[in-house]
Amino acid sequence: MSMFSKVKDLFQANIMDMVNKSEDPEKMLNLYVDRAMEEVRNFHIQVTRAVADKIQLEERIEGLSKEVDLRTGQATLAVQQGKDDLARTALTYKKQAEASKIDYESQLVDQVKVVEDLQENLRVLTEKLEKAKMERNDLVMRQRRAQTMKNANQAVSELTSHDPLADIDRMKDRVQRMEAEAKASRTMVNTNTIDEQFAELEKSKANSEVEDELASLKAGLKIRLEKK
């Protein structure tokens, strides 16, 4: 299975299934995309080599064409000077160059087709890689959003299982109880104050009676003295 098939299968998986797995979906997606990028880079190297081979064939064909022209000129010059053996040698080299040229031209036809196919495949792979990157980014955002929703739901579930309002109600009861105790304490203070006031009144009354009796004794004593 190629890396792009792996990425495609992963992209078709349900995002929630990925979230529930122990592996980190974001890290795995980045890993798959990185591997796909490495495949594209390696394929690009193959295309570059194929293009280089094509250029090399073209250069050899051009060189052989020049050699054919050169050997033709040499053979013509040799014939003009009556050197048939030298002309034959030049023509032999010409024939060899022409044969090699035909062979290279045949290879060039095949190589051109190979380069065209490789370049088209590279274009398709590059497009798939860009699409994979976009879908990777989309899935990462969806995974993060799903994780956030999951955490929020867990928080709500915890709040549901332990209602904080119940704690507030308990604290409310405690405060109300403290307020009642404070009121009771204040009533006791007020009661003590009234009792003390009555005690003072009783004490003042007793003192008044003592003074009255003393005054009466003094008055009686004075009357008796006057009679003597």
Residue 215 falls in which region: left (phi positive, over 0), alpha (psi -120 to 50) or beta? alpha
Which of 143, 156, 109 has the alpha carbon at shortest distance from 17? 143
Structure confidence at residue 178 (pLDDT): 83
Return d(Cα 223, Cα 211) in angstroms, integer.
19
Mean pLDDT along residues 118-145 = 90
pLDDT surpasses 80 at 168: no
Residue 177: pLDDT band (50, 70, 90) is: confident
The CA distance from 100 to 194, in Å, is 135
CA angle (179 as vertex; 178, 182 as ends), nearest 5 = 85
Mean pLDDT, range 187-200, rounded to an integer: 61
Helix (H, G, I), strand (E, B) or coil at 163: coil
Query: Which helix (DSSP H) or strand (DSSP E) does residue 192 occupy?
Result: helix 164-227
Give pLDDT tens digits for 122-131.
999 999 989 9
User: Is CATH 1.10.287 the classification given to domain 3-162?
Assistant: yes
pLDDT at 4 over 70: no
Ramachandran quadrant class, 83 (left: phi over 0; alpha: psi -120 to 50; beta: rest): beta
> What percent of the chain lies above the pLDDT cut of 70?
75
7-21: per-residue pLDDT in tens? 455 545 544 454 455
- 121 HSE (CA, 13 A, CB side): 17
pLDDT at 61: 96
Which residues, 6 or more positions from 132, have their beta carbon under 8 angstroms from its beta carbon?
A: 4, 7, 11, 32, 33, 36
Q: Are 71 and 97 in contact (CB under 8 A)?
A: yes
75, 90 in Cβ contact below 8 A? yes
Least confident of 11-15, 37-41, 95-99, 217-221: 11-15
pLDDT, tens digit, 9 for 90 and up, residues 25-67: 888 888 888 888 999 999 999 999 999 999 999 999 999 999 9
Neighbours of 32 (CB within 10 A): 20
Asked if pLDDT for residue 84 goes beyond 90, the answer is: yes
State percent of the chain over pLDDT 90: 38
Instruction: Report, as an integer, the average pLDDT of 115-137.
Output: 91
Task: Report the chain's mean pLDDT, rounded to a whole number.
Answer: 81
93 within 8 A of 75, measured Cβ to Cβ: no
The predicted pLDDT at position 160 comes to 63
pTM summary value = 0.54
**Per-domain residue ranges for the chain?**
3-162, 169-228
Residue 106 has pLDDT above 60, yes or no: yes
